[in-house]
Structure 1
Amino acid sequence: MGRTIVYLIMLKTLAKRISPLAALIVLCIQTAWAADLYVARNGSDRNPGSKEKPLATIDAARSKVRGMRGKVTVWVRSGTYYLTQPVVFGPEDSRAEGQEVIYKAFPGEKVTISGAAAVPVKWQPHKGQVQKAVIAGPAVFDQLFIGDRKLHMARYPNFDPQASHFGGYSADVLSPARIRSWKHPEGAFIHAMHKHEWGDYHYRVTGKPNDSTLVWEGGYQNNRQMGMHDKYRFIENLPEELDAPDEWFFDTKTKTLYVYAPGDAREVLSPQIRHLFEFRGSAEKPVRNIAIEGFELAHTLRTFMETREPLLRSDWAIYRGGAVLLEGTEHCAVRQCHFNAIGGNGVFFSNYNRDGEVSGCHFDQTGASGVCFAGDPAAVRSPAFEYHESVPYARMDLIPGPKTNNYPAGCRVSDNLMNGLGRVEKQVAGVEISMSMDITVSHNTISNVPRAGINVSEGTWGGHVIEYNDVFNTVLETGDHGSFNSWGRDRFWHPVRETMDSLAAAHPAMFLLDAGKTITIRNNRFRCDHGWDIDLDDGSSNYHIYNNVCLNGGLKLREGFYRVVENNIMINNSFHPHVWFAQSGDVFRRNIVTKPYAPIRVEEWGKEVDHNLFPDQQALEKARRNGTDGHSLAGDPMFVDAANGDYRVKPGSPALRLGFVNFDMHAFGVVSPALRSKADKVPLPVADPVTAAGNRSEAAWLGGKLRNVNGLGDRSAFGLPDEKGVVVEAVPENSILAKAGMKQGDVIRVLNHREIGNVSELMDVYQEVNWMGEGEVAVFRNQALQKLTVSFK
């Protein structure tokens, strides 16, 4: 082999001197020169790594690969490989171009890389259905699995998969009466939503100074400190709360594990480490050309108490880690892996990464986010970290772009299925991007997440392409977000509006100092029932948004510059311009909206708002009173097949006369057949009956059925003072309306202090406030107004 290497070096030198043909010959030789290694559960690290005599560990294979040239595939045979520490790839493991190494599951075999210890147990009776086992040897108990079943730490209230937050919550978690029931709560964890539902907090109980008070540490997981929510909270890891199936508690003093109805399990799996694979390089010495492929990645520790690093002027704090951590890499990839109920993030690209790839993976019930990108704050010019912080213009670094190259760029997240993320932490996303450049997020299906499906934390440094994604059932536990969510609190942005107005007028060159490259959002399908489908918040700037279908929440633009929104379709909703700056340069054209615009504090309407299609003349005239939409039209868009999600328009549609162009309705989401077969289907909106004026007359809402008050007959029957309001036609048992105390025959007159005249007005107000989690409803009952509090989730 040594002589072959010498020949190759000679050929390469000769190729430079002779002709491109020689270079081609060298390439062919290198391509042909490939090798296989094998790892198996019955192998030995003293073996050569052949198929007949495999190695036993991936670590041993990594060491052997270091001495090999050419392309190498490390085939890992079936079984579960329990790691006591992560597999680490350093600069010494880097591969030259054309000599990549892939660590890959053998075809047709299931390979699980586990961060757990398989702990033998011998059960003994304890109390009732609770059994116990003394654990020999050291072990961490943070999550517990019996086979494929994940158990729950003993908690109050008990786990309820139907609950809207945390799998169960209660306002009395920290009540004196409840605290008195716990003898030694040290080591318990309190989990709570942020007071404004922007994220979550987590605390570790450190003591009980008196009979009815706890002391704790933590609460740093959210970057906008406002305290915990007074209702959405729970507590876990308390022996007194071990009272429901699949609950467990580990007594660290006696090393005794208690499990409610463990069955006949002879061992339990207890995660011991946070990461399974780490790529550890730097910009100066990167890890190059290494991929992992086809593994199930499982059983990692939860990281909620390590989530403490604030991102730039956001609500967020992060933990720089995941089941796979990449830092200082080039051309490294994670492909076709199943992230199964891991405790924290799936894949984390930290600081310098170039041309990284995550593709064909399934992120299933993860503790935190799916894929995260976060650069080095030291690469940001004039950074600020808390929402209210700002850098005075006189001290601001005015050089555009990043200060260093220590950030992710040119990476791709494509064809991934992400379902049920944020099972532990709520300040998460399917894909989170911060302090990065040129990230492509393409053909992913993201659903059932507590916050945004895709989140861009700030404008540094743009260039991202968000395309062909299917994102729905989002913002399930938080509020004031969207299926796509961003903010742009970059160098130029100031939290005080009057100050920001004067800065914007005096220094317009500031706007693109960080967001220098346009972010493109195109050809996606979004649905958010508790916020906006596309939510560009607080200064998000330099976006081009086109060819998207918004199925429920519409599109919001707030406090930014240079956004071009064109050729989008907004079903059951509209355009939400919020608090625009003078000379924003914003454009909204050739879009189809199905409700009137919903502006808030907009005095100047940007560069162009025109050539849009409205549902009726009334909505169009309302827009024209703002000085916009002089060339817009109103009418039926004539969708091809709205009931089945085909929102292309037919020939003769007025949208076509405005310049609207049809786009593909069948290219959203994952493309791999295996992932498509597992993906949930997006819930398509139902067309509600409309009156001749274009208003809805009936609707399904929070599990109930509603209709408009209709004429003098209803006024007499319900004892109303006029013919306004919404009649509650049906209130099924266990519906949200029933839980709020609403009854059949109630007439809704007010929602969140806004008078309600009909179903359309109710749904419009609801769309604006549903992210708040709950609202006050005034109903007419027995000829008097009564106030009720209704949960929106």
Structure 2
Amino acid sequence: MQKVKNLIVTSLLLAVFLWPAGSSAQTNLYVSLSGNDSNPGTQRAPFASISGALTRARKISGTVFIRLYAGTYYLSNPVVFSSADSRKDNEPLTLTNVDHQKVTISGGAILGGLNWTVYKNGIWQAKIGHDLVFDELFVNGKLQRMARYPNYDPSAQFLGGTAADAISKERAARWQSPAGGYVHALHSAKWGDFHYIITGKDTSGQPMLEGGWQNNRRSGMHEKYRYTENVFEELDTVNEWYYNKKTKILYYLPPKGLDLKTAKFETPQVAHLFEFRGTEEKPVKNITISGLTLTETVRTFMQNKEPLLRSDWTIYRGAAVFYEGAARCRLENCVLHDLGGNAVFFSKFNRGCEVAGCQISEIGASGICFVGDPAAVRSPSFEYNEYIPPAEIDRTPGPKTNNYPKDCKVYNNLMFNLGFVEKQSTGVELSMCQDITVSHNTIYDVPRAGINVSEGTWGGHIIEFNDVFNTVKETGDHGSFNSWGRDRYWQADKKKLDSIVAENPAIALLDVVKPIIIRNNRLRCDHGWDIDLDDGSSNYQIYNNLCLNGGIKLREGVTRVVENNIMVNSTFHPHVWFKNSQDIFRCNIVGAAYLPIGISSWGKEVDYNAFPDSVSMAEARLRGTDSHSVQGPLTFENPEKGDFRVREGAAALSIGFKNFAMDNFGVVSARLKAIAKKPIFPAVVVTNNLSKDDTIDFMGARVKNLSTAGEQSATGMDQIRGVLVLSVAHGAAASGFLQANDVIIAFNRRLVNNLKDLLEARGAVGKNTEIVIFRNQHQLKQKIEVKM
């Protein structure tokens, strides 16, 4: 009888452990590198794998914690959460560590038992006994460089060092078998980058390339900023390596003092570490990953092919942590570093998910991406010059389906050193999504934007309290915050676009159905604009932002309200507005005169602003704006320490400007604050007037040197060169072949880089000649007759 009672008690205890009753019950399942998946998952008898613990967790009600003991867990395949792992709202599942122990989830493989022997010239070699992916190599936890030309130079501005002859026939003559090598290059206009695989050499000795699909503006690679890697003959400096796939031999040039016998060699094997795979009908719900370190995934630049509508982007729909069909799932307090592709990706249907408290650094592509399903977009177009005729556009506002991220949050994350492989990348990417909050993040040291909105679909985002700086470091024509508004109505031909919006202003708001709010951020861009709203970006509310260098640019678009911002040493950049834009720019502090380009109408209101001097204000009033604006010295409380509140009595306070907090930008947790960098605060420049470029008459057109990044962006030029057409007199000779905003780049078969070139070419012209202009993203060559 006693044995029966003991058996009953044991069974009841086991039932309490495995089947907790009520929503308040909590179960802990343990995982250890020394465990066994046949164990019950207790502290003394833990599982060996996360997957083993997940299998048990599916059978348990109540709150469940899967706790990992310290160590590095190497994954040969991603851990996949399906709808079978979903939890009730009050019974979540959390994957975390044991008592704050360091737990690393790695996508790499250890190269054990290497027998290193001398090759030559300081290079060592070792045979690899297994079939492995060899895309990156880590030695003692540090990323090494594939054999490359030119050699890696951390001080180089672009791509770690570049050479115009990187793929020249003369350089390729050194290569015996370059197939499998890579070519990396900036876009010809520095709008991101391109990547190619070398497939061999042609009969003339020129390298043959496959690729170049990684940018949606495919105008070819930059003629200068390029390099090659993974070519054996280029292995010539320390920390470089090369793997011969045919012979399975790894070649490595170690630094002085490295003990090859004791060094730890690893190579990434997988692109994803965790995947959430659900659907709208059967989502993965209420699962949190917390307190883990995620590292070593393969690069994905050759899989980056999917165009994000008509933005400049293409994307690889994947990441170290990948969500598709998730609801109320979180990634929190994790460290993500040394990842070859994107760090976190929310694809298609996701609701109420959050990334919070994470450190994301040394990332090959982007930090956190939200990208919906293009099939949810009405009247989509997928290339810059592609468009739907206005009569054929679906006029129903908003999305067609629910297959996109919505109501998600990116909060209190530190992101830096992103895009070390892919330059068309960002800290936070928003495309075909809605109601995403990006709050209290610190983002710096990135090749392009810190936060990017690829198109208006479908608005509702809140971008607030972020600290974004050291951006656009390897590209051009961009901003710390960048957006495009190439929604269903938009097309590249500005004249046609103007008429479309003039006939039906509401058409510009069919996709961006909710306003996008940018507020209380601190931004600094030294190679572009602090806030860059490009190509039709519409329905924005921009207020209480501290812009430290690049100012605010608004191109095209409708219904933008810009209020109560500070633009230190910079100004307002309005570019080619629609006549009925309804834009508002008021109660802002600018550090210099406005820099308008192609503006014939000034929106709904441009007034009640503060200028640094009387000349810049008078210039604005001559254009018909700012009748109630004021001018006076810009006196800030403590600009050296980043306090740009205006002092009592400043002229700006008289026109309605209100000071806002200067100590609430960026990450909020003490752990992340302790390691986050801060931007450099500029010394305030006192200006009395802005110098003006000379303008001359050219056959009845007023022209000047194209001389600023703003003019380059507005015209779409590849670089700052040529002569910009400001206006053309009606009936003048130039009216037959020139329009305002054209750029003259050649005349009389001579290149025109500036006014001097144009005048010299004009002086030598005969009766008949030709002119080459750049208009609407295309070069046009025209034969003209010149009156002598």
TM-score, normalised via structure 2 length? 0.85
Residue 86, structure 1, aligned to residue 78, structure 2: yes
Structure 1 residues 606 and 753: CA distance shift in structure 2, 3 A: closer
Give 2:184's match in structure 1, choosing from 188, 191, 213: 191
Structure 1 position 469 matched with structure 2 position 496: no
Pairing 1:707-718 to 2, within 5 Å after superposition: none
**1:264 is aligned to 2:259:** yes
The offset of 1:496, in angstroms, is: 1.0
Look up the match of 1:97: 89
Counterparts of 1:539 and 1:172, CA distance in 2: 38
Whether 1:685 and 2:682 are equivalent positions in the alignment is yes
One-letter code aligned to 1:439: I
Match of 1:124 among 117, 130, 149: 117
Amino acid at match of 1:583: N
Contact residue 190 and residue 204 of structure 1 kept, 8 A: yes
Which residue among 617, 641, 644 is the counterpart of 1:644?
641
Q: Does 1:34 align with 2:26?
A: yes
- 587-596 vs 118-127, greater mean Cα deviation: 118-127
Over 3 Å counting, the alpha-carbon distance change for 1:269 and 1:58 in structure 2 is same
Cα distance between partner residues in 1 of 2:719 and 2:218: 19
Deviation at residue 154 of structure 1 after TM alignment: 0.2
Contact 1:553 1:767 in 2 (8 A): no
The code of the aligned residue for 1:210 comes to T
Tell me, what secondary structure is at the counterpart of 1:249?
Answer: strand
Q: For each residue in 1:153-195, what CA deviation from the matched residue of structure 2 results, as whole angstroms up to 9, or x when unmatched? A: 0000000000011111011111121011101000000001110
Q: Can you list the C-alpha shifts for 1:10-39, whole angstroms capped at 9, x where unaligned?
A: xxxxxxxxxxxxxxxxxx973431111111
Query: Following superposition of structure 1 onto structure 2, how do residues 155-174 of structure 1 map, counting pairs within 5 Å?
Result: 155-174=148-167
Counterpart-to-counterpart distance in 1, 2:522 and 2:83: 40
| Aligned match of 2:397 | 400
Count of aligned residue pairs for this structure pair? 699
Offset, 1:112:
0.6
Question: Could you tell me how far apart the structure 2 residues matched to 1:429 and 1:538 are?
Answer: 19
Going from structure 1 to structure 2, the CA distance change for 1:753 and 1:151 (only over 3 Å counts) comes to farther
The correspondence for 1:549, drawn from 530, 535, 546, is 546
CA deviation after TM superposition for structure 1 residue 210, in Å: 2.6
The yes-or-no answer on 1:516 pairing with 2:508 is no
1:695 Cα deviation after fit: 6.6
Determine helix, strand or coil for the equivalent of 1:620. helix
What's the counterpart of residue 673 of structure 1? 670
Shift of 1:444: 0.5
The Cα of 1:317 is off from its aligned counterpart by 0.3
Find out whether 1:252 has 2:245 as its counterpart: yes
The 1:381/1:146 distance shift into structure 2, 3 A limit, reads same
- For residues 491-532 of structure 1, what are the alpha-carbon distances to aligned partners after superposition, in whole Å with 9 as ceiling and x for unaligned? 121211111121112122212110010000000000000000
Q: Aligned-pair distance for 1:69?
A: 0.6
Distance 1:508 1:5 in 2: 68
User: How far is the alpha carbon of 1:128 from its aligned partner?
Assistant: 2.4
* 3-state DSSP of counterpart to 2:585: strand
Distance, in Å, in 2 between the alignment partners of 1:399 and 1:3 is 60
Structure 2 counterparts to residues 439-458 of structure 1, below 5 A = 439-458=436-455
Is residue 142 of structure 1 aligned with residue 135 of structure 2?
yes
* Cα drift, residue 337 of structure 1: 1.2
How far off its partner does 1:768 sit?
Answer: 9.9
Equivalent of 1:534, from 522, 531, 551? 531
User: For 2:232, which of 219, 236, 239 is the aligned residue?
Assistant: 239
Q: CA deviation at 1:637?
A: 3.1
- Aligned-partner Cα distance in 2 for 1:546–1:289: 35
| d(CA) in 1 for partners of 2:532, 2:550 | 9
Following the alignment from structure 1 to structure 2, what is the Cα–Cα distance between the partners of residues 596 and 251?
59
Deviates most, 341-350 or 52-61: 52-61
- Please say if residues 575 and 714 of structure 2, whose CA atoms lie closer than 8 Å, have aligned partners that are also in contact: no
- 2:649 aligned with 1:657, yes or no? no
Q: Which residue of 2 aligns with 1:47?
A: 39
Q: Gapped runs of 5+ residues in structure 1?
A: 8-27, 697-707, 709-723, 725-751, 757-761, 781-793
Judge conservation of contact 2:189–2:719 (CA < 8 Å) in 1: no
CA gap of 1:449–1:557, structure 2 versus 1, over 3 A, is same
Counterpart in the other structure of 2:364: 367
Rounded Cα–Cα distance in structure 2 between residues aligned with 1:755 and 1:450: 25
SS at 1:603 equivalent: coil
Q: Deviations over 1:584-627 (max 9, x none)?
A: 01000000001000000000000000000001000000000110
Distance change in 2, residues 1:476/1:770 (3 Å): farther
**Aligned residues of 1:615 and 1:694 also touching (Cα < 8 A):** no
Deviation at 1:5, TM superposition (A): 14
| Whole-angstrom distance in 2 between the partners of 1:445 and 1:56 | 37
Report the residue type matching 2:231 in the other structure: L
What is the distance in 2 between the residues matched to 1:637 and 1:282?
54
Tell me the alpha carbon deviations over residues 33-75 of structure 1, each in whole angstroms, 9 at most, x when there is no partner.
1111111111111111111111111110111110011011111
Please name the residue that 1:628 is paired with: 625
- Partner residue of 1:482? 479
2:580 counterpart of 1:583: yes
* 2:441–2:666 contact (8 Å) kept in structure 1: yes
**Normalised TM-score (structure 1):** 0.85
2:170 partner amino acid = A
Percent identity of equivalent pairs: 52
CA distance in 1 between counterparts of 2:356 and 2:420 reads: 22
Q: CA RMSD for the aligned pairs?
A: 2.6
Counterpart in the other structure of 1:503: 500
CA distance in structure 2 between the aligned counterparts of 1:295 and 1:754, rounded to whole angstroms: 55
1:577 and 1:687 map into 2 onto residues whose CA distance is 23
Residues 772 and 648 of structure 1: is their aligned pair in 2 closer, same or farther, counting only changes over 3 Å? Answer: farther
State the alpha-carbon separation in 2 of the partners of residues 304 and 82 from structure 1. Answer: 23
Are 1:179 and 2:150 counterparts? no
1:57 to 38, 44, 49: 49
> Is the aligned partner of 1:71 residue 2:71?
no
Aligned equivalents of 1:771, 1:419: Cα separation in 2: 30
Give the whole-Å Cα distance in 2 for the aligned partners of 1:77 and 1:481: 45
In structure 2, what is the equivalent of residue 224 of structure 1? Answer: 217
Q: Tell whether the 8 Å contact from 1:74 to 1:104 is kept in structure 2 after alignment.
A: yes
Secondary structure of 1:88's counterpart equals: strand
Contact 1:531 / 1:768 at 8 angstroms: preserved in 2? Answer: no
Q: Determine the C-alpha separation between the residues in 1 that align with 2:355 and 2:46.
A: 28
Q: 1:460 to 1:539 in 2, by over 3 A?
A: same
Q: What residue in structure 2 maps to residue 421 of structure 1?
A: 418
Q: Is the 8 A contact 1:481 1:771 kept in 2?
A: no
Amino acid of the structure 2 residue aligned with 1:80:
T
